[in-house]
Amino acid sequence: MNADERQEDGITTLTGDTFERMVLQGRGPIAVEFMSYSCSHCGAIEPILQQAAALLKPQETIFRVNIAVERELAQGFEILGTPTIVLFLDGTEIGRVEGPSPEISSLLAQLTQPFAH
């Protein structure tokens, strides 16, 4: 992990400089939460997202992008509201989960279903 990546509570925060290497060039299933610390819904799902990250490792990696800091990334992925979780498989976007999901089972289903064969 370098200075452009911060891991908080099991989820690594990416910057514009690390996003391409970690996500677009990444292998396997990756989920990226586009969030803001001022978003109350983001704060509400944070503990559930941390549980999901712990349960899904190593099959799936979850990252976070703070849209208040990484505005270009948010615009590039047309993030209209937070939280938005963008699902990638081998660097290609394959789905999105938008809005809060209050239960761990619901969030796990939303995060894993697009990757199921």
**What digits encode the pLDDT tens for the residues 69-110?**
999 999 999 999 999 999 999 999 999 988 877 677 788 888
Tell me, yes or no, whether 113 lies in a domain. no
30 and 63 in contact (C-beta within 8 Å)? Answer: yes
User: Residues 10-22: what's their mean pLDDT?
Assistant: 93
Number of domains making up the chain: 1
Report angle CA 116, 25, 29 to the nearest 5 degrees: 15
CATH classification of the domain holding 40? 3.40.30.10
Tell me, yes or no, whether 108 lies in a domain. no
Tell me, yes or no, whether 95 lies in a domain. yes
Tell me, yes or no, whether 69 lies in a domain. yes
Rounded to a whole number, what is the distance in angstroms from the first to the last CA of the chain?
A: 31
Domain that residue 28 falls in: 7-99
Alpha carbon of residue 101 to chain centroid: 13
* Alpha carbon distance 41, 27 (integer Å): 29
Tell me, yes or no, whether 115 lies in a domain. no
pLDDT digits (tens, 9 = 90+) for 30-77: 999 999 999 999 998 888 888 888 888 888 899 999 999 999 999 999
* Alpha carbon distance 34, 86 (integer Å): 8
